[in-house]
Structure 1
Amino acid sequence: MTGRAYVIAGSEATGGAGIQADLRTFQELGVYGMGTITCIVSFDPKNDWAHRFVPVDPQVIADQIEAATSCHDLDVVKIGMLGTPDTIDVVAGALERKTWRHVVLDPVLICKGQEPGAALDTDKALTAQILPHASVITPNLFESRTLSGMDAIESEADLIEAAKRIHDLGPRYVVAKGGVELPGPDAVDVLYDGQDVVVHRASKIGENRVSGAGCTFAAAITAELVKGGTVESAVGTAKSMVRAGITARLSAHTPFDVITTVAPG
């Protein structure tokens, strides 16, 4: 193991996404991983696999963060699903009390399983309290559209514009992901650092989203940054790893396939 990676995120019981995917990714990339669980998501097979969402008590989250950061010298953290304004308060406070070399934010703006009003409150709190701490943010197409305030993102040029607008919110690096939803034959990701635009593209693998791809992508960036890589090289590794995982994806009884965790060759 060449370093220690930390993640603050939700648990997803089928193993396809969330902290389970994060820790597998850390292991595959050769870093020691530990995590704080913020919420528990359990798909409901009796209700078309809808999300059942249960937040962890804020004091329990604070206790987990205290234990992890006291036990290990940590300077890179990935932030995944937080889920409630109370959780965001606790995590924001923890970020403020410590100097982090990198905070990688996977901005989960839709907290499935919540009422729309509660989800909106969470989105606003995340943008106001967590996003300013991010050195790297990895929004998907929906999140890029929401954060940028754009009505639509329908081309590579639109994705670049969205990345530039999100950069204005504070993060040093924006990785705006087009995925399968951006029109065209390629899966396009845009990296913007405030000056330069780097476009990562590769042919799409199917036309349907795969569970856990976003978690794996951000976790791979986190692991590579722990090992001392640049953001630019970390994004390249993450894209290769996600492509390998989608190629070897698992089918299940769910209406979606699940990414596997395969280190790029």
Structure 2
Amino acid sequence: MVDLAYVIAGSEATGGAGLQVDLKTFQELGVYGVGTITCIVSFDPADGWNHRFVPIDPGVIADQIEAATAAHDLDVVKIGMLGTPATIDTVAAALRERTWRHVVLDPVLICKGQEPGAALDTDTALREQILPQATVVTPNLFEARILSGLERIDDVDDLTEAARRIHGLGPQYVVAKGGVELPGPDAVDVLFDGEEVTVLRSPKVGSERVSGAGCTLAAAITAELAKGAAVADAVAFAKEFTAAGIAGRVSGHTPFDTVWQGAFVEQLDLPDPADQTG
């Protein structure tokens, strides 16, 4: 029997982030992916690759969710970029209508194509409506600071405190990501389950952020949970999978590289899951 995973997220036209990355990650990990698009982000090559952000009508989002959940028995979902309070209202209501085994939230708080006031309203709605429904939330350093209310996150102790505070907002597990921005030779993530703190370390791969790393990590967690893994095991594997993708990054005409989700299988010389029958 094939394992299924669902994603509700934005589309990013270069293929380096968003729904495209989520579905590629699911496929690489042998999980059948189903997706609902919440917004469209198109980088503008004529304007320094800044974001062009277009939200999908909430009614169309609701239609997509209705079709996806009617067609398949979906019980593990990743939530990516939502973009507007109206979208969050729609998605939050849809989440409450079903019983989910796992909800993985990658809390995208701001898009450069949004006005600051609209972004703040979106952040507030996400915190109040989606975050309490999450099994796992995966904030990066900026998102961890905003959600926790900390002015600075300078070390692992600060990152741990941020994870504790975010846990108090309702999610069952918090994966606070230090990435390349936290000082030191290692990319450090903190997993907090409400009682125990687990610090995950791996050597940094370069010093620049790579597009799609956060999407890949959250999607890999989602895929592993869909296959029945425990949360801690899913998070540990996802970090390894993402590190391989960062090392195998893809360059293009953009000023940023993107994660290559196929790098993990290539690195281990494993058979492609797509070539196997379930």
Runs of 4 or more, structure 1, over 4 Å off, are none
- In the alignment, what sits opposite 1:74? 74
CA distance in 1, matches of 2:235, 2:2: 19
- Opposite residue 70 of structure 2, the aligned amino acid is S
In 2, the alpha carbon distance for the partners of 1:195 and 1:58 equals: 38
RMSD: 0.8
Q: TM-score of the superposition, structure 2-length normalised?
A: 0.94
What are the superposed Cα offsets for residues 235-257 of structure 1, whole Å, 9 maximum, x if unpaired?
Answer: 11110111110111011111111
Give yes or no for the alignment of 1:110 onto 2:110: yes
Q: Do the aligned residues in 1 keep the contact of 2:51 with 2:111 (CA within 8 Å)?
A: no
Task: Give the whole-Å Cα distance in 2 for the aligned partners of 1:216 and 1:3.
Answer: 18
Q: Cα offset for 1:92?
A: 0.4
Helix, strand or coil at the partner of 2:42? strand
Tell me the residue number matched to 1:27. Answer: 27
**Counterpart of 2:271?**
none
The offset of 1:110, in angstroms, is: 1.1
In the superposition, the TM-score normalised over structure 1's length comes to: 0.99
Deviation at 1:111, TM superposition (A): 2.2
Letter paired with 1:12 = E
Q: Which residue of 2 aligns with 1:125?
A: 125
Name 1:204's counterpart in structure 2: 204
Aligned equivalents of 1:124, 1:192: Cα separation in 2: 22
Q: Deviations over 1:18-46 (max 9, x none)?
A: 00000000000001001000000000001
Equivalent position amino acid for 2:247 in 1:
T
State yes or no: 1:173 paired with 2:169: no
What amino acid is aligned across from residue 66 of structure 2 in structure 1? E
- CA distance, structure 2, for counterparts of residue 37 and residue 234 of structure 1: 25
Distance, in Å, in 2 between the alignment partners of 1:22 and 1:190 is 22
Aligned mates of 1:28, 1:252 — CA distance in 2: 22
Letter in 1 for 2:258: V
Aligned residue-pair number: 265
**Partners of 1:112 and 1:64 in 2: how far apart?**
26
Structure 1 counterpart of 2:156: 156
Looking at structure 1, the residues matched to 170 and 116 of structure 2 have their Cα atoms a distance apart, in angstroms, of 26
Q: For the residues of structure 2 that align with 1:115 and 1:197, how far apart are their CA atoms?
A: 36
Please state whether the residue corresponding to 2:10 is helix, strand or coil.
strand
Deviations along 1:128-158, one digit per CA (max 9) or x if unpaired, are: 1111100100000000000110010000111
C-alpha displacement at 1:107, in angstroms? 0.1
**Identity of matched residues, %:** 72
Q: Which residue of 2 aligns with 1:13?
A: 13
C-alpha separation between the residues in 1 aligned to 2:18 and 2:122? Answer: 18
